[in-house]
Amino acid sequence: MDVMEAIRTRRSIRKYLPDPVPDEALATVLEAARLAPTACNNQAIRIVVVKDATQREQLIEACKGQKFVGQAPVVLVGCALEADSYPKQAGWLNTFAIDTTIVFDHVTLAATSLGLGTCWVGAFEEGAVQKVLGIPANWRVVCLMPLGTPAEQPDARPRKTLEELVSEDGW
Ligand SMILES: Cc1cc2nc3c(=O)[nH]c(=O)nc-3n(C[C@H](O)[C@H](O)[C@H](O)COP(=O)(O)O)c2cc1C
């Protein structure tokens, strides 16, 4: 599958089969994450791979009761060391969330290319996720991402038209 096909066919998946993710597929997804760019190449990122059923169950609660998070056989948790990311300066945002987002966009597209589903999960209690997985307080939790074989095939969700999205030579 080429990149544009992965971009076109990726969906947020909220129903998963219980089948385990093959080790080779997981390794490919994590390699895609590893190769993502970060500001100044700081790579102040860590991904916690959660397969343990008890921990996945606890993550449902930490994600405000979103059951599908624990139903996927794997949950990837995106963490960033805010202090080591590219620092705030005039005109710049602190890059820890940007870096992690790019890493996880690689994850979504690599997973799609392998026939796996993902869903970005941004609604969670950071402290609760840190507690379940023993993540140190200075490591920010940016996202959770269930990973598994889709048990649904949602239609494409609506997007703005290019005309609504893009302007040329000025605003
Ligand atoms: C920053 C961010 C946070 C999100 N948080 C959640 C979430 O907590 N729960 C959820 O079910 N979907 C979440 N989503 C998924 C979006 O709802 C989804 O991407 C959007 O509706 C478009 O659907 P699509 O991904 O299938 O194209 C999140 C997406 C983003 C980018």
pLDDT of the residue at 90: 55
pLDDT of the residue at 88: 67
Q: Is the CB of 59 under 6 A from ligand 1?
A: no
Q: Is the CB of 160 under 6 A from ligand 1?
A: no
Q: Is the CB of 120 under 6 A from ligand 1?
A: yes
Distance of CA 64 to the CA centre of its chain: 17
pLDDT of the residue at 158: 98
For residue 157, the number of C-alpha atoms closer than 13 Å in the C-beta half-sphere is 5
**Residue 124 Cα: closest atom of ligand 1:** 8
Q: Is the CB of 12 under 6 A from ligand 1?
A: yes
Residue 72 clears pLDDT 60, i.e. is over it:
yes
Alpha-carbon distance 105 to 110, whole Å? 9
**What's the pTM value of the predicted model, to 2 decimals?**
0.96
Q: Is the CB of 35 under 6 A from ligand 1?
A: no
pLDDT of the residue at 104: 98
Pair of tokens at residue 31: 């390699």
For the stretch 123-157, pLDDT in tens is: 999 999 999 999 999 999 999 999 999 999 999 99
Among residues 91, 72, 90, 97, the alpha carbon closest in space to that of 150 is found at: 72
Residues 39 and 86: beta-carbon distance below 8 Å: yes
pLDDT of the residue at 85: 80
Q: Is the CB of 69 under 6 A from ligand 1?
A: no
pLDDT of the residue at 52: 98
- Conformation bin of residue 29: beta by default, left when phi > 0, alpha when psi is -120 to 50: alpha
Among residues 31, 43, 11, the alpha carbon closest in space to that of 106 is found at: 31
pLDDT, greater one: 93 or 52: 52
Sequence-distant (6+) residues with CB within 8 A of 2 are none
Residue in the block written with tokens 């209690």: 125
Q: What does the mean pLDDT of the chain come to?
A: 95
Distance 4 CA to ligand 1 centre (A): 20
Taking residues 156-170, report their average pLDDT: 97
Which sign, positive or negative, has the C-alpha torsion 122, 128, 132, 133?
positive
Distance 120 CA to ligand 1 centre (A): 5
Alpha-carbon distance 61 to 56, whole Å? 9
Residues 78 and 145: beta-carbon distance below 8 Å: yes
Residue 2 clears pLDDT 80, i.e. is over it:
yes
pLDDT of the residue at 91: 66
